[in-house]
Amino acid sequence: MLSRLASAIVALGIIVVTALAAAPPAVAHAVLIDSTPGNWELLANPPRQVTLRFSEPVDVGLAQVRLIGPDGSEVDGVSTPRASGADAVSVTLPSLRRGTHTVSYRVVSADTHPVRGALSFSVGQVTGGASEQPTGQSGGAGTQATVLYGGTRWVTFAGLALLVGTAFFAAVCWPGGAARTGVRRLLWVGLASLGVATVGALPAYTAYTGGSLGSTLSSRMGVLLLVRLGMLALLSAALYYLGRRAPTTEYPASAAARAGAVLAVGTALALTVSLGNHSATGGQVALAVPMDTVHLLAMAVWLGGLVALLAVLLRSGDVLGMRVAMPRFSRLALVCVAVLTATGAYQAWRQVGSPSALLSTTYGGVLVTKIGVIAVLLAFGLLARNWVRGHYAFAVVTISDKRRARRGPAEQEIRRFRRLVAVETTLAAVVLGVTASLVSVEPARAELERVRAAPTVPQRTGPVNEIVPFDAGGERGRGRLAVTVTPGAVGRNEVHLSVLDPAGRPMDVEQLSAELSLADGSVGPLPVELRYFSPGHFIAAAATVPMPGQWELAVAVRTSEVDQDVVRIPVGAR
């Protein structure tokens, strides 16, 4: 019956994911989609404020915006960030001098993860400082802060699994298990681990986002952590009260009621995790949060049950308890795996979106690693399931069968099975570690969106020194154009154009004009102001390249009133 149920759940998960394939994608992690002034914009007058607009709501209380002046020093007088709608942040600026200014920002997206980036604008003229400042945007915490925060996430997952999984195992699979000292000890360890991780997450998240403890407490993540601490305080009181009662093997409620009570508490705790990760933002939040919560519950029941099985039941010598609990847990694990498969497939589609992203993004690489470890874990789980079926699933018909059932597996067999479960438990700890790192990684969809939004910088950059032919037609319409562009970088460049006849001598022409454009046509044309220097030789002392990318210098050579040719020279700037 449970096998058919598990198959039905997997099939349902496949149907759900297939049906949602045409739905709007989720892009967890905020992506900068617009700004005022625009990135690399050249302004005639200084702006009074800067507004940053993101792809999703951001927490303005945790936002930081700094302004770097043309000389590389931070500009004083920038106001505290304020909200300009749910998805925009603004700051008021002091009076700015001429030159290129860089806006460095750090915000926390709706999925509680920090995102940092920078953009530049120029007042009056472009100076070279822009090319030295960071551009684009990225998921943004330091390595130490990320590792520290990831560690608290791992302990959170482990504590949740110990607490919920052990409670469910004792309440449903092992009659009388709650009376065992080892079970109660595991419950306290799970509760204490979850509490320590929650308290530690407050300073860890503060370092992770770069804010203050006060701003963290008032943020959504801070509220979730405080709510979880309140739940854990109530659970501690309840567990202490139950621990003072005399141990009993009789339960006052049915198995369904016990399972419902454990799952209700587990759901409340899991929600404090799900509402603080990638599932709480982007499209389909109403479906994504429940799916993530169910995913966490299935993980906790399965992996926490493994620990209770290994640490308590297999060491208890309770033959009758093993005969009842182990087949039940084997069937329960199958259901958990089915639920994890369905919900995990949905989450993977939501955050990755395409098979190619699995191999081209950091999130995809971590997810592939997690899938690989889970595949090995499932292989050991299958071996354990076969062991349980071989030792407990036989029909009791003869007197010999009854004796075998009462006696249970030999001690040597139990030790072999214990080693098998120990490997499973170790792999489960690795899965939790990978999961903790996964929730801190920028989702694949957001990474691809950020990469697409970043300016394209050519591989070949620097000074240009080329001689290219031109043919304007008519008499004296042929020749060569010597082009020099230095330094070939963002900011001011000096351009030298020399018109040469076929013999290589300087050649006067009717008119020479030039303009700069991005090769993809998104910016430009920007006129290049040329001045006559000597016969056939023209100079632009301050040709401005406002942003990195593959630029094109188009030079129009007019040799008569009707004869003209346009020469195009690539200019790469970073």
DSSP for 163-218, please give it: IIIHHHIIIIISTTGGGSHHHHHHHHHHHHHHHHHHHHHHHHHHHHHT--HHHHHH
In a domain, 436, yes or no: yes
Adjacent-strand bridge partners of 492: 544
- The C-alpha atoms of residue 483 and residue 392 are separated, in whole angstroms, by 86
pLDDT at 274: 87
pLDDT mean over 300-306: 92
Residue 446 pLDDT more than 60?
A: yes
Considering 139, 155, 175, which residue would you say is the last residue of a domain?
A: 139
Shared domain check, 123 and 176: no
pLDDT mean over 187-195: 94
pLDDT at 251: 56
Q: What CATH number does the domain containing 58 carry?
A: 2.60.40.1220
In a domain, 528, yes or no: yes
Q: How far is CA 522 from CA 127, 482, 518, 554, in A?
A: 21, 27, 6, 15
Shared domain check, 39 and 20: no
Mean pLDDT score across all residues of the chain: 80
pLDDT at 461: 66
Shared domain check, 172 and 95: no
pLDDT at 179: 81
pLDDT mean over 132-149: 60
In terms of pLDDT, which residue wins out, 409 or 225? 225
pLDDT at 159: 94
- The C-alpha atoms of residue 495 and residue 516 are separated, in whole angstroms, by 11
How buried is residue 48: exposed, middle or buried, by Cβ count under 10 Å (0-12/13-18/19+)?
Answer: exposed
In a domain, 457, yes or no: no
Shared domain check, 262 and 212: yes
**Full residue range of the structural domain in which residue 486 is found:** 464-573
In a domain, 204, yes or no: yes
Shared domain check, 434 and 286: yes
C-alpha closest to that of 271 among 293, 238, 248: 293
Shared domain check, 502 and 439: no
Q: Based on the structure, what is the number of domains in the chain?
A: 3
Query: Where is average pLDDT lowest: 26-40, 77-91, 282-296?
Result: 26-40
The percentage of the chain sitting over the pLDDT mark of 90, rounded to a whole number, equals 21
In terms of pLDDT, which residue wins out, 158 or 405? 158
Cα–Cα–Cα angle for 145, 195, 269, rounded to 5 degrees: 100
- The C-alpha atoms of residue 180 and residue 247 are separated, in whole angstroms, by 8
Which string of b and e fits 539-562 if b means at least 16 CB within 10 Å?
bbeebbbbbbbbbbbbbbbbbeee
DSSP for 145-159, written as a single string: HHHHHHHHHHHHHHH
pLDDT mean over 305-323: 85
Shared domain check, 200 and 300: yes
110 three-state secondary structure: coil
pLDDT at 455: 53
Adjacent-strand bridge partners of 551: 518, 571
Residue by residue, what is the 3-state secondary structure of 62-77? HCEEEEECCCCCECCC
Q: What CATH number does the domain containing 521 carry?
A: 2.60.40.1930
Residue by residue, what is the 3-state secondary structure of 33-49? EEEECCCCEEECCCCCE
Considering 429, 452, 475, which residue would you say is the last residue of a domain?
A: 452
What's the gap between Cα 508 and its chain centre? Answer: 59
Encoded tokens for 205: 């998240």
pLDDT mean over 190-215: 89
pLDDT tier for residue 405 given thresholds of 50, 70 and 90 = low
pLDDT at 460: 59
In a domain, 459, yes or no: no
User: What pLDDT digit, counting tens, does each position of 65-86 carry?
Assistant: 989 888 778 889 999 899 887 7
In a domain, 458, yes or no: no
In a domain, 491, yes or no: yes
Residue 257 pLDDT more than 80?
A: yes
Residue 298 pLDDT more than 60?
A: yes
Q: How far is CA 10 from CA 130, 330, 377, 493, in A?
A: 53, 17, 18, 62
Shared domain check, 330 and 186: yes
Residue 161 pLDDT more than 80?
A: yes
pLDDT at 7: 44
In a domain, 411, yes or no: yes
Query: Where is average pLDDT lowest: 55-59, 182-186, 347-351, 519-523?
Result: 519-523
Shared domain check, 390 and 539: no
Considering 389, 424, 452, which residue would you say is the last residue of a domain?
A: 452
Shared domain check, 186 and 153: yes
Shared domain check, 287 and 422: yes
Shared domain check, 129 and 45: yes
User: What pLDDT digit, counting tens, does each position of 460-475 carry?
Assistant: 567 888 888 998 887 7
Instruction: Enumerate residues 6+ apart whose C-beta is below 8 A from 380.
Output: 420, 423, 424, 427
